[in-house]
Amino acid sequence: MTPLRILLVDDHPVVRAGMRALLTSRDGLDVVGEAASGEQALDLVAAERPDVVLMDLRLGAGMDGAKATAAIVARPDPPRVVVLTTYDTDTDILRAVEAGASGYLLKDSDPEVLVSAVWAASRGETVLNPDVAQRLYRRIRSPRVDLSARETEIVSLVARGLSNRAIAKELFVTEATVKSHLVHVFSKLGVDSRTAAVAAARERGLID
Confidence (pLDDT) at 26:
93
Q: pLDDT, tens digit, for every residue of 129-147?
A: 777 777 666 666 555 678 8
With a cut of 90, say whether residue 174 has pLDDT above it. Answer: yes
Are the C-beta atoms of residues 3 and 30 closer than 8 Å to each other?
yes
User: CA 85, CA 147: separation in Å to the nearest integer?
Assistant: 26
Rg (alpha carbons) of the chain, rounded to whole number: 20
- Residues of the chain above pLDDT 90, percent: 64
CATH superfamily for domain 4-141: Response regulator (3.40.50.2300)
Neighbours of 101 (CB within 10 A): 27
118 vs 131: which has the higher pLDDT: 118
With a cut of 60, say whether residue 5 has pLDDT above it. Answer: yes
Question: What is the CATH number that goes with domain 149-203?
Answer: 1.10.10.10
Confidence (pLDDT) at 79:
96
User: CA 106, CA 127: separation in Å to the nearest integer?
Assistant: 11
* Model confidence pTM above 0.75: no
Confidence (pLDDT) at 126:
87
CATH 1.10.10.10-classified regions of the chain: 149-203
CATH 3.40.50.2300-classified regions of the chain: 4-141
User: CA 8, CA 84: separation in Å to the nearest integer?
Assistant: 10
Mean pLDDT for 71-81 is: 94
**Alpha-carbon torsion angle 22, 2, 39, 90, nearest 10:** -60
Of 78, 88, 182, 174, nearest to 136 by C-alpha is 88
With a cut of 70, say whether residue 7 has pLDDT above it. Answer: yes
Confidence (pLDDT) at 98:
84
User: CA 109, CA 118: separation in Å to the nearest integer?
Assistant: 13
Which H/E stretch holds residue 176?
A: helix 175-189
Q: Are strands 103-106 and 4-9 parallel, antiparallel or unpaired?
A: unpaired
Mean pLDDT for 178-201 is: 91
